[in-house]
A and B are shown apart, each in its own frame.
Chain A
């Protein structure tokens, strides 16, 4: 940590301060020195750039850039800020993509949403936002959404025209003598989900892959600024339906930090419990989806059967099976009726009953091994350079897990270990999912026992302890929070204004964004048959890809 501070001291900064346990927060006085700071930081070992988050301040006529650097090995992190001018013509800053490969799409996103131009970016095309938002910076505070929505018909025509133009022209530039062609894998495709991969192929051989994303863009980061602090949870949980609890935990932690609220131990344990149930329900779908992509639907069906029992528990607790809205700033939304644990017990028993069969038939499946061990290999260096997280990072042997790196909720009291695999192939990621599933159920058991013991001894009052009051209006401030989501690291950067009842800005950094960036790297020179396999093994959810 001291070394990072020494590096920063060489440049002109407004402040350098410690933030939380493993973060340093600093602000550069000028954006000109950003590139040289970043270079020095990379040499020091902070090789991953988690995300780039611009915040718009029309009053002071600045856009504040936030960079989050991470070192996955030694767990040192840096939150670096700098101001740039707000006028569209002067709104530019040096691109970090040549140094940090992970910055690529994040800078493109900042370009499309805030109109920040990144100098020397190799490929600064708009991303996520549809054709009608081109050149408009929709996330700036003064963007007039009402006026924009009045011209819906014109905008739809723009989108259609852009598609038609692309359809007509995308193969014109190809060499007429070669057999190269452009194949659309998605957005209406049996295995793709709402994403489109433009695959340049020569017969079965892939030449390059260019993902086109944004088909389920809901502008969640903008949506939360229209709601109050509690209402925002329903936008945050829609990051991805498969694991909605942990995203709400992350958001609630950021709000609590700004409000200065400390939640009760009971609520902390409930967050662990619900979060792991959500993780299980996500992982069983991930396991099934992996085999679906190989054309075998049996595991998915078996796992959906298992998942229903975990959803039963979520339903008995919150009344909803998928979009539970069960976590809110100040704790968890509902008190606990101890009979609800009967449902959970049933789910755990169902899991124990079926998991060995899944292992012998599917995890050890020779045909799957034969295919999956050959493709999708990511080295530990790739993981750090591209800022990957979750099962993808751990599948390549990188020990990173926010639950242990920066414990939140009650994870510091949970007994758990880093689970890793060595080779980083698609197969290793599949095994990771399976092993983490068992780990999650183990944590559920621990949390359940802890809560039961606490209630029995009178330490927890399950009907009253679930919530402490958080003021409706928060002071001016900002906070970041990280959670280990089912797919990897979710970083939330929350900014509030004085006495405001709404979030001023919430940046959601979602793992699938980085993972999708890897597709070209992984699929080059492979065959068409490997596309669904590699895509499935990266455990991508289009919900958090587009947000």
Chain B
């Protein structure tokens, strides 16, 4: 029974569905505010039902598989992408009673699962038999390869500091001091996160003014819904990892609980949205040179800094 609830309610399917609908609505409303618009308004209180209706519309629409594509690759990949994006939820310590899967290699599992996602998206573009999709797929690959190094190195810095890959232990050991030590790592993690999630200024793979919608171009109906939901589940995985690794998980100010975990994830989302509203896209070349010239060296320096800080503040290696 417990397993069923975990798989379908929390932190499984229903939770992720709710998160997707809620976060999508929040993104729209928040962006609208920054754009001096109103945003969703008519359906439900403050337009909250709008995303629900949009998703139900997508689910009921005909799913078109274009002529000439590889149908298995084309229809399998969205499903695989969604499942891969949902899996990290099982490893994240939402409260004291979680994670669902207790392992001492939780961090490794998260990094691997988040790292696989771009390759699945590349395959959707590869299987679409469309020039825009193909270019989008290639861009996903180029971007994820150059961002993943920095992502991995910065995500590993808490493990180095606390000497464990067990996420529960990392959360338990985190203090204000460790937050300050890990702050440079958090900044690098955040920038790499923008690249991995294809958010401005790194929204190069689905740059609609250049290559229409990148790897999404040929998708519609249910498959598009699955891909969009995968993207939002991926948001959750990445924000949740950030909260666990750098922001102290469910620990709060007066009491501990899931609400603090949620608020911390939302704070990361708000920063991401604000950047989205004020930064234009950069080009692929600029992204590559930024990533390899600055981000990767800085993430290496960060590892060195964490080691020095560990010796200095904690007195051991």
Residues of A within 8 A of B (CB): 181, 183, 189-191, 203-204, 291-298, 301-302, 305, 361, 365, 367-368, 370-371, 527-532
Contacts and interface: CB of A to CB of B under 8 A. Distances in A.
A531 B279 CA distance: 19
Nearest to A530: B283
21 contacts: A190-B209, A190-B212, A191-B208, A191-B209, A296-B200, A296-B278, A296-B279, A297-B35, A298-B34, A298-B35, A298-B277, A298-B278, A301-B35, A367-B201, A370-B286, A527-B284, A527-B285, A528-B135, A529-B284, A531-B210, A532-B210
Nearest to A185: B210
A181 B213 CA distance: 19
Contacts of B204: 529
B280 A294 contact: yes
B280 A296 contact: yes
Most chain A Cβ neighbours within 10 Å, of B36, B204, B209: B209
B37 A295 contact: no
B281 interface: yes
Given A204-B284, A292-B209, A529-B210, 5 more contacts: A191-B210, A203-B135, A295-B208, A302-B36, A532-B209
B243 interface: no
Contact of A295 (B34, B36, B207): B207
B211 interface: yes
B209 A296 contact: no
Contacts of A305: 36
A434 to B, nearest CB: 16
A149 B212 CA distance: 35
B168 interface: no
List 9 tightest A-B contacts by C-beta distance, closest first. A294-B280, A191-B209, A301-B35, A532-B209, A295-B281, A529-B283, A190-B208, A296-B280, A293-B209
Contacts of A294: 209, 280-281
A367 B285 contact: no
Contacts of A301: 35-37
A25 B204 CA distance: 54
Contact of A181 (B131, B203, B280, B284): B131
A203 B135 CA distance: 7
Contact of A204 (B135, B203, B208): B135
B200 A295 contact: yes
Contacts of B36: 301-302, 305
A190 B131 CA distance: 15
B209 A295 contact: yes
Contacts of A191: 208-210
A371 B280 contact: yes
A295 B284 contact: no
Contacts of B101: none
A284 B203 CA distance: 25
A367 B280 CA distance: 7
Nearest to B138: A203
Nearest to B203: A295
B281 to A, nearest CB: 4
Nearest to A189: B212
B212 A302 contact: no
Contacts of A183: 131-132, 135
Nearest to B206: A295
B35 A371 contact: no
A213 B204 CA distance: 28
Contacts of A371: 280, 282-283, 286
A303 to B, nearest CB: 10
Contacts of A365: 278-280
Interface string B36-58: 11000000000000000000000
B211 A367 contact: no
A10 B207 CA distance: 58
A530 B207 CA distance: 12
A296 B278 CA distance: 7
Given A302-B36, A371-B286, A295 B212 contact: no
B123 to A, nearest CB: 19
Interface in B9-39: 34-37
